[in-house]
Amino acid sequence: MMDKKEYENGSLLKPLSSVKYLFKKPHTLQYPKEEKPVPERYRGFHINDIDKCIGCGNCRDICPCAAITMVDPSPIHPVEVKEGTNPLRPQIDYGRCSYCGLCVEVCPTGSLQLSKDLIYTSTDGDAFVWIPAKEQNREPGFTQTDEITPLMLEKVEMPELEPDVRKKTFEEIILGFNEEQARKEAMRCLGCGVCMQGCPAHMKIPEYIQAIFDGDNKLSVKYMLEDNALPGICGRICTHNCQDDCVYNYRGDALQIMWLKRFATDQLETYKDVEVEKMPPTGKKVAIIGSGPSGLSAAYYLATMGHSVTIFEKRPRAGGALGLGIPLYRLPIYELDKEINHIKSMGVEIKLNTEVGKDVKFEDLLKDYDAVYLGIGLSYGRSIHLKGEEHPDVIQAIDFLRQVKVEGRRNIAKRVIVIGGGNVAMDVARTVVRLQHISYGGVDTMVQTVSLEDWDIMPASKEEIEGALEEGVIFNPGWGPKQVIFDENGKIKGLEVVKVKSVFDENHRFHPTFFEDQVKVLEGEFIIEAVGQMYDFSFIPKEIFEKLKFTPRRRVQVDEYGETTIPGVFAGGDLVPTSKGNAISAIANGHRAAIGIDRYLQEKSRREK
Amino acid sequence: MNKSYELFIGPNHPGIPGNFSLHLELEGDTIVSAKGDPGYLHRAFEKLMEYRLYIQNLALIPRICVPEPDINETAYSMAVEDLMGVEIPERAKYIRTIVLELARVTAYLLWMGGYAGSLGLYTLGQWATGDRDYAIDLFSELTGARVYHMYVWPGGVRRDLPQGWTDELLSYVKYMKDKLIDYDNLFFKNAMFAHRAKGVAKVTKEQALEWGATGPILKATGVAQDVRKDDPYAAYPYLDFEIPTMEEGDSWARAIVRRFELETSLNLIEQAVKKMPKSGPVWTKMPNPFKWYVPEGETYAKVESTRGEHGFYMVSDGTGRPYRVSVRGASMPHMFTIAEKLLVGSRLADASHILLSLDICPPEIDR
């Protein structure tokens, strides 16, 4: 231990030894003549790569000093706004900044860094506020790492049926999160809301994920129902553009927003406890033709606005493509029933087996109702005019899927060819796999798809392609169907395909070209065409139909509120140009049309007074 | 005619260790009463913390104490970790220990300069400031900042040690150990210092315990109390060290205790570097900062600062922001019970000497 004795009395001479320092070199640096090296991790002024930055605003939200505001950076660096990004960029007030570097830690793109520079002088206080950009040429200092980051980069894996199990059954593939998994996944959300832009319905994603994290599933579903009348269905079959825009895509795994939505809705047996606001009855009547996602969405929101709504559906089941087309392993019947029952509980009447044009006249609807909404969708398969397609063993995807789902079709050929590379083709191929397992135990069976598009531009989602591959579907990307080959008995032997040179022309328009000399024959006895659908307006009398205008791409021309060129007639779903051919955009434009119809009806009552 | 008069020292005065004011009543040059007047540094940190996410408080907490910010970061992190039931990685414990001890060295050097200055020896202040800057250089290399490091955070530390940093650290420790001989010769073993400081502001063991003294003030009365020993945290349980004590309880004894503590810290750094795991994680993964909910509960986490026991009392209501954070700064009792009593009866010329011998840190009082 230290000896205290030495210190007791002290010495008068010892202090004099310090005189030696008179002859030593001082250890101070003469700045700026002598530069001191700045440490690697130095936390100085910010550097922001404005082109890489997506303007998510997480830096602003985490800043403990409120030093960051999001502003338009164009005066110093013009930005090109890409889809799924914001045009604003961080501006920093260095009178507030504490140089803690939390903004850098949470930056999802890694565009933000701190520099080794901390010297700036000005007599103008406002000069200490600026937009950091690369133009300022600062040397990088403190930067983020993937080893130590406050962000939770890894997703919670979704439990699902193994390929060997699932291809034998129409049971749902996705098993769903449990409470713990859902909360853990919800915990990853940064709440920046960039995802909301990607969602056609602009759902309040950060809010409903926060509610799931807080364990309040009812509140979560309430947020969902504000913009989406069919949240449980979207939780299963949505194309989840939100997830493609999730900022975690830049660093780590995207947040599984869709599965979280599914979790919250699954926790509620019915939505009757979710307090949805309903306006008092207005006495106005609206007819909706078609009970697909857009029709149901429009009906639901019109009902909450107090209008009395009747849906006319020609099929024996409501749901449109949801009820008839989407296979059971993706969307079980009970889920559809649950959501449709909720819409019915809002006072919506659904008349099944009632075809407009046959059971009721379109012109009567125009007379008896205050407004009419067309939600008929693209319910007929589109032919590609293949040579030999009039044979009964060449069938349209939409008919095939309906036969399997609704009519209980189970017979299937051993070797099947599916034409198409979209999600419907995947649904068909994977349905065929299941039927073949049910009928033949999967022995000597084969499903192959053929699509014009090669792997890189195949329109089907990545998950669907992966799922199909796991289940043993064979792909022929980059081949175009030419003609059906028959044997001597008139039975289908196969499909002749020809190698694709390019799918689009230089203007990015669909215009396939082929290498005519490269031909092969795919063997199979049954061919399903899944190359697109179209509408049928034959129920509208000619004199009214003439008033309906179409866009150059053959969609119904509507204004921003979904009103067609016929006053009082609105359209939505896949009929209108805002459709992206998926459920969520139909739900979104159905909601938009409901707002339009409500405006129209209010305007009408004002005029009547 | 009035016999006594009032004199205000501070808030801007070289003899006051920070923005703090002291109201003295004097008769001649003898102090008859002394009253501390805080509030000049009140930044409402405790209240502000209730409105910020757990991680955002990282920017506030080091600012509670300027000379030794790391104690705040560590105590805050320990409180959060305790509420969440998180154990930090072994290597992080050692890194925290090194950071805390290095901060202790800088704090003692800063005190040394001020204390010697209050007695009229300004050379020591020049030396100490220069030597402290070497430690600050090490800090800026490790943490990216000179003073407010924001390096220790809940779960461990923010980054691993940079390449070759420990070698630089050890050469600094060696340099300081050599330099201590010169510090001793010039100041601690100086007969004039002993003569001047002995018997000034004497505190007995009983008084120190009664008045709530901790740290060097208590140690100088012979009580070997130290949080690092009594309630070990970070890597202190694995390290071998002794608590220096003195019996006299006066200004001189407190200075000598601090001198020995400085040496202990240098030894502890050497030991920690030697015993530290050579690799491994330095951070336990914590929740996403925007959804960082701490389970309901309350806790008190304390560390040993150069001035005594420094603690954070934290209450969580299970949300993403603390319900209440209260900082126990060692200087609070040192100023309001001890200094106010010790100043009475002493000479005006001793006032700042006494304050600095108690090593009072006003930001800790005001927060």
CA distance B180 to chain A (A): 12
Cα–Cα–Cα angle for B291, B324, B225, nearest 5°?
Answer: 115
What is the distance between the alpha carbons of residues B183 and B126, in angstroms, rounded to a whole number? Answer: 12
Note the pLDDT of residue A2: 60
| A150-155 mean pLDDT | 87
Band the pLDDT of A408: cuts 50, 70, 90: confident
* CB spacing of A62 vs B55 below 8 angstroms: yes
Please answer whether residues A58 and A108 qualify as being in contact, where contact means their C-beta atoms are separated by less than 8 angstroms.
yes
| A40 inside domain | no
| A496-502 mean pLDDT | 86
Query: Are A482 and A572 found together in one domain?
Result: no
Q: Taking a contact as any Cβ pair under 8 Å apart, which residues of chain A between 52 and 111 contact chain B?
A: 61-65, 98-102, 106
Closest by CA position to A417, among listed A471, A475, A456: A475
* CB spacing of A41 vs B159 below 8 angstroms: yes
| B311-317 mean pLDDT | 92
What is the distance between the alpha carbons of residues A462 and A459, in angstroms, rounded to a whole number? Answer: 9
Q: What one-letter code names the amino acid at B88? A: I
What residues of B are in contact with residue A150 (Cβ under 8 Å)?
Answer: 55, 286, 288-289
* CB spacing of A61 vs B287 below 8 angstroms: no
Whether the predicted pLDDT of A276 surpasses 70? yes
Whether the predicted pLDDT of A29 surpasses 60? yes
Query: CA dist B6 to A358, A392, B9, B337, Å?
Result: 104, 111, 10, 20
Query: Are A385 and A518 found together in one domain?
Result: yes
Q: Taking a contact as any Cβ pair under 8 Å apart, which residues of chain A between 143 and 162 contact chain B?
A: 145, 148, 150-152
In 10 A of CB B209, how many CB atoms? 15
CA distance B162 to chain A (A): 9
Residue A37 token pair: 């090296």
* CB spacing of A150 vs B55 below 8 angstroms: yes
Nearest to B59 among A15, A100, A189 (CB): A100
* CB spacing of B53 vs A99 below 8 angstroms: no
Q: Helix B70-84 vs helix B90-118: angle between axes, to the nearest 10 degrees?
A: 150
Note the pLDDT of residue B1: 59
Alpha helix (H) ranges present in A188-291?
195-198, 205-213, 217-227, 231-237, 241-245, 257-267
| A164 inside domain | no
| A253 inside domain | yes
What is the distance between the alpha carbons of residues B291 and A190, in angstroms, rounded to a whole number? Answer: 8
Pairing mode, strands A129-130 and A285-289:
unpaired
* CB spacing of B185 vs A9 below 8 angstroms: no
Q: pLDDT tens digit string along B8-26?
A: 887 877 777 778 888 889 9
Query: Are A520 and A426 found together in one domain?
Result: yes
Q: Among all chains, which residue has been given the structure tokens 């959804």?
A: B291
A141 close to B (CB below 8 A): yes
Coil vs helix vs strand at A197: helix
Query: Are A570 and A540 found together in one domain?
Result: yes
Note the pLDDT of residue A538: 85
Q: Residue A8: closest CA among chain B residues belongs to which residue?
A: B194
The reply to whether ipTM tops 0.95 is no
- DSSP per-residue letters across A329-398: TTS-HHHHHHHHHHHHHTT-EEETT--BTTTB-HHHHHHHSSEEEE-----EEPP---BTTTSTTEEEHH
What length is written for chain A? Answer: 609
Domain's final residue, options A533, A557, A588: A533
Coil vs helix vs strand at A170: coil
Whether the predicted pLDDT of A146 surpasses 60? yes
| A15 inside domain | no
Query: Are A87 and A222 found together in one domain?
Result: no
B87 contacts: CB under 8 Å, gap ≥ 6: B81, B284
Residue B40 token pair: 């000049």
Structurally, chain A folds into a number of domains equal to 4
| A294 inside domain | yes
Please answer whether residues B232 and B78 qualify as being in contact, where contact means their C-beta atoms are separated by less than 8 angstroms.
no
Whether the predicted pLDDT of A3 surpasses 80? no
CA distance B24 to chain A (A): 32
CA distance B132 to chain A (A): 12
Domains of chain B: 1-40 (no CATH), 41-299+353-365 (1.10.645.10)
Query: Are A526 and A394 found together in one domain?
Result: yes
Provide the mean pLDDT of chain B.
89
* CB spacing of A64 vs B59 below 8 angstroms: yes
B162 close to A (CB below 8 A): yes
| A225 inside domain | yes
| A91-115 mean pLDDT | 91
What residues of A are in contact with residue B152 (Cβ under 8 Å)?
Answer: none
CATH number of the CATH domain containing A420: 3.50.50.60
Q: What one-letter code names the amino acid at A464? A: E
Domain's final residue, options A90, A119, A136: A136
| A343 inside domain | yes
Whether the predicted pLDDT of A270 surpasses 70? yes
Coil vs helix vs strand at B260: helix
| A411 inside domain | yes
Band the pLDDT of B264: cuts 50, 70, 90: very high
Whether the predicted pLDDT of A185 surpasses 60? yes
| A373-386 mean pLDDT | 82
Size of interface A-B (CB pairs under 8 A): 130
Q: Taking a contact as any Cβ pair under 8 Å apart, which residues of chain A between 197 and 216 contact chain B?
A: 210, 213
B30 close to A (CB below 8 A): no
* CB spacing of A11 vs B246 below 8 angstroms: no
Query: Are A525 and A406 found together in one domain?
Result: yes
A114 close to B (CB below 8 A): yes
Provide the mean pLDDT of chain A.
86
Whether the predicted pLDDT of A9 surpasses 80? no
Query: Are A305 and A237 found together in one domain?
Result: no
Whether the predicted pLDDT of A4 surpasses 80? no
Band the pLDDT of B142: cuts 50, 70, 90: very high
CATH number of the CATH domain containing A216: 1.10.1060.10
Helices (H) and strands (E) in chain B, counts: 14, 8
Note the pLDDT of residue B176: 93
Band the pLDDT of A484: cuts 50, 70, 90: confident
Q: pLDDT tens digit string along A552-593?
A: 878 888 888 888 888 888 988 888 888 887 888 888 989 999
Residues pairing with A556 in the sheet:
A550
Residue A569 token pair: 């007639």
| B23-49 mean pLDDT | 88
* CB spacing of A14 vs B55 below 8 angstroms: no
Q: pLDDT tens digit string along B164-222?
A: 999 999 999 999 999 998 898 888 888 888 888 888 888 999 999 998 899 999 999 98
Note the pLDDT of residue A367: 87
Note the pLDDT of residue A513: 85
Closest by CA position to A231, among listed A335, A350, A160: A335
Nearest to B190 among A15, A27, A102 (CB): A15
Residue B263 token pair: 């040496």
* CB spacing of A39 vs B189 below 8 angstroms: no
The b-or-e profile of A179-199 (16+ CB within 10 A means b, else e) is eebbbbbbbbbbbbbbbbebb
User: Which domain range does residue A72 map to?
Assistant: 46-136
What is the distance between the alpha carbons of residues A236 and A327, in angstroms, rounded to a whole number? Answer: 11
Whether the predicted pLDDT of B316 surpasses 90? yes
Q: Helix A257-267 vs helix A179-187: angle between axes, to the nearest 10 degrees?
A: 140
| A127-154 mean pLDDT | 87
Long-range contacts of residues B117-124, Cβ cutoff 8 Å, at least 24 apart = B117/B14, B118/B15, B118/B352, B118/B353, B118/B355, B118/B356, B119/B193, B119/B196, B119/B197, B119/B353, B121/B186, B121/B187, B121/B190, B121/B193, B123/A18, B123/B186, B124/B183, B124/B186, B124/B187
Query: Are A291 and A327 found together in one domain?
Result: yes
* CB spacing of B288 vs A152 below 8 angstroms: yes
Domain's final residue, options A516, A533, A550: A533
E-assigned strand segments in chain B: 5-9, 21-27, 30-37, 152-153, 156-157, 297-305, 308-316, 324-328
What residues of B are in contact with residue A21 (Cβ under 8 Å)?
Answer: 182
Query: Are A60 and A120 found together in one domain?
Result: yes
| A313-333 mean pLDDT | 84
| A457-463 mean pLDDT | 84
Residue A228 token pair: 């989406």
B140 close to A (CB below 8 A): yes
A1 close to B (CB below 8 A): yes
CATH number of the CATH domain containing A75: 3.30.70.3270
CA distance B53 to chain A (A): 8
Note the pLDDT of residue A397: 86
Query: Are A181 and A229 found together in one domain?
Result: yes
Q: Residue A192: closest CA among chain B residues belongs to which residue?
A: B290
Query: Are A387 and A526 found together in one domain?
Result: yes
Coil vs helix vs strand at A558: coil
What is the distance between the alpha carbons of residues A375 and A571, in angstroms, rounded to a whole number? Answer: 6
